[in-house]
Amino acid sequence: MTKVVCLVGSVYGNSTSVAEECAEFLRGQGHESEVFSSFDLAELRQDLEAVWLVCTSTTGQGELPDNIYPFYQSLKDEFPLMPDRKYGVIALGDSSYDSFADAGRMLDELLQELQAKRLGDVLFIDACETADPEGVALDWVKEWVKHLS
């Protein structure tokens, strides 16, 4: 089965809860899945087979959470083309802000520029529309997991 590494960008923990719910479901489907809220690009790049599932909130005026910013900046600085890397994105935000889910959009756009292959569509979770982001993400990951086989 596939190894899925959940990379979390979170300020208040919502993205972490969403990622943990997704990882638990993936493990139940026979995949190997871990959740990381602290990670290093060099270490992540060593595992060529792992699929990245980026799960991030947006903070401030459309910025990345502090814990995922170094990863994003390393990708920008090193610009390692990754045509064999597969990934998915869950972007949490609040549509009452102009910068709704910008952190997820920024990471998705950068990974696309690096030639990584996104599996499925980006999931946008709007805090204005749901009080259950884990449930929304679980419904999405049940479909997304089909891209892993």
Q: What is the pLDDT of residue 138?
A: 97
Structural domain count, the chain: 1
Name residue 67's amino acid.
N
Percent of the chain with pLDDT over 90: 87
Q: What is the pLDDT of residue 149?
A: 74
Neighbours of 137 (CB within 10 A): 25
Per-residue model confidence as pLDDT tens digits over 23-48: 999 999 999 999 999 988 888 988 98
Average pLDDT score, the chain: 95
**Range(s) of the domain holding residue 33:** 3-148
Q: What is the pLDDT of residue 20?
A: 98
* pLDDT greater at residue 60 or residue 18: 18
Q: Identify the CA nearest to 123 among candidates 115, 111, 108.
A: 108
Of the chain, the end-to-end C-alpha distance in Å amounts to 8
> Is the per-residue pLDDT at 74 higher than 90?
yes
- pLDDT grade, residue 61 (50/70/90)? confident
Determine the Cα–Cα distance for residues 15 and 22; give it in Å rounded to an integer. Answer: 11
DSSP assigned state of 62 = T
Domain CATH code at residue 113: 3.40.50.360
- pLDDT grade, residue 147 (50/70/90)? very high
